[in-house]
Amino acid sequence: MAAKKATKKKVVKKKITPKISKKINKKPNKKVVKQTSPKRQLTKATRMARATKRKIRIVLNNILFFAVAMLIFLVLYSASGSIIYQNFFMLLTICAGVIVLAFLIVLLIFMLLRLLNK
């Protein structure tokens, strides 16, 4: 008698776990190495000279801008017919002229400082 034994299969219950999204950080395989050139240390005098050059350039740009604005306001003053517009453009012309004079004084001071540093 060949009796077969009934084998019971064990049922394994899987635990239900919430899905967690994994953040994958992809990093490049090779490291990028930046080569820096050796920097020369500047003396205090050369740093000041560069700074004054930059400041002089800014002052010159402002003088040019306000001088052109003053000329435009002067042309508009002479071309306007109404007394209100004439007064308004004359006021703007005077304001732009004062600003140009202020920048000229600043320019002279920078030039004087530049001459004294040499």
Each residue's pLDDT expressed in tens, for the chain with a length of 118 residues: 555 555 666 666 666 666 665 556 665 566 666 777 767 777 766 776 677 788 999 999 999 999 999 999 999 999 998 999 999 999 999 999 999 999 999 999 988 888 887 7
What is the predicted pLDDT for the residue at 12?
63
The region that residue 11 occupies, defined by phi over 0 for left and psi between -120 and 50 for alpha, beta otherwise, is beta
What is the predicted pLDDT for the residue at 53?
84
- The residue among 107, 2, 44 whose CA lies nearest residue 115 is 107
What is the predicted pLDDT for the residue at 99?
96
Angle at CA 98, nearest 5°, toward 77 and 106? 145
